[in-house]
Amino acid sequence: MQSSAVINEAVQTLRDGGLVAFPIETVYGLWADAKNPQVIHKVFATKGRPSNHPLIVHLAAPDRFDQAQVDWVPILAPWTRDLSEDTLKLINAFWPGSLTLVFKKDKSVLNDLTGGQDTVAIRAPAHPIAQELLRKFKGGVVAPSANRFGKVSLTSAADVRAEFEDVLDLMILDGGDCEIGIESTIIDLSSGDKAVLPRPGAITPSEILAKTGVNVYQPNELKSDEAMEDLPKISGSLKAHYAPTTPLRLYAPGRVLDALSEFPDINSRVAVAVWDSESSLSEDGHRSAHCEEIEVPSDSTAFASRLYRSLRDLDQPGWDLILFPEPPAGEKWDGVRDRLQRACFGSGPSSSGHVNT
């Protein structure tokens, strides 16, 4: 746990227009004052993030004390005034937690953090130290993942130090490893009539329906292409994202050899991730390359928690290719499936050239 002195130093750094790297339950974030346009520009520059790619605002949850239900309206008033009954159901059921909601923004919200859009994405993280920091700061912070834009997200303080070793004025707080391991579920509420899922995460549409009675629609369930085009841009929505420099590919069940055949160099070293519930692949006989197996959890929650850690550990000069099994069908795997597909598309030595497409 961080001491009060360290938390207070981080709060002062934010007030002074500095950057603080700190974890929430999902991944490590690059924290900055959401009301300071200069430091928001610094966030974009530090990450190498396109200025039209919006940031998520993070807010403190009020202390509940003896309240049966928290009044979120005054907390959200500086950011949005468009709070429907369904919106309040979602907030009361899942905040603080790994659910981000997209609203029509209040006119006072900086265009710099919304990518010039008329919407703003907001969440209240559940990480207790993050909540303490936010309460002491008494304001909103932007907290995009603490990694170079388009690359693998980070879930430990040591990885953040390695990623930004050239950023000397970055304050890094070690809050331990992140529990959930992938970014939050995003629900778009900005249209006013439907809740839409532009980014899956640990919280699934079925869980939302069960707890709140709110139906969540997939973008492809909207009535028209025009309706899909009207969806706001959100963090992590580019086709290439979360990408290692080493080429990454997915293989279907029992099709490792097919995946290897597309990478025929006999001198290649290939890291093959296999389910911990399955037998070894060694008897298949990988004649085309030197392969080493790495077990990954067959439980979706554990897989998500370790996904970025595994990708970062394998993204080393010793490997020429990383193979991961395709996640099973089902919405509890949708979050990691989304991250892996984007990581595959952006992976490889020239991945930095893909991330803006």
Alpha-carbon span 276 to 214, nearest angstrom: 36
Shortest CA distance to 247 belongs to which of 338, 314, 335, 339?
314
Q: What is the mean pLDDT of residues 87-98?
A: 94
13-35 confidence digits (pLDDT tens) = 999 999 999 989 999 999 999 99
For 59-193, strand residue ranges (E) read 99-104, 119-123, 141-142, 171-172, 185-188
pLDDT at position 99 over 70: yes
pLDDT band per the 50, 70, 90 thresholds, residue 184? very high
- Output the pTM of the full model: 0.90
The radius of gyration of the chain's CA atoms, rounded to the nearest angstrom, is 21
**Single-letter amino acid code for the residue at 164:** F
Burial 149-187 (b: 16+ CB within 10 A, else e): bbbbbbbbbebbeebbeeeeebbbbbbebbbbbbbbbbb
User: Could you tell me the CA-to-CA distances from 163 to 97, 159, 181 in Å, in that order?
Assistant: 26, 6, 17
So what's the pLDDT on residue 282? 52
Shortest CA distance to 320 belongs to which of 342, 275, 356, 288?
288
- What one-character DSSP code corresponds to residue 48? T
Mean pLDDT of the chain: 87
Torsions phi, psi for 161 (to 5 deg): -60, -45
So what's the pLDDT on residue 236? 61
So what's the pLDDT on residue 351? 46
Q: What is the mean pLDDT of residues 318-339?
A: 94
pLDDT at position 233 over 50: yes
Helices 128-137 + 4-15 axis angle, to 10: 50
Q: How many beta carbons lie within 10 A of that of residue 262, not counting itself?
A: 11
268-288 confidence digits (pLDDT tens) = 788 999 998 775 555 455 555
Helices (H), 99-173: 111-114, 128-137, 157-163
Task: Name all domains of the chain by residue range, CATH numbers in brackets.
Answer: 4-229 (3.90.870.10), 248-353 (3.40.50)
Percentage with pLDDT > 70 across the chain: 87
Window from 36-45, 113-122, 311-320 with minimum mean pLDDT: 311-320
- What one-character DSSP code corresponds to residue 45? H
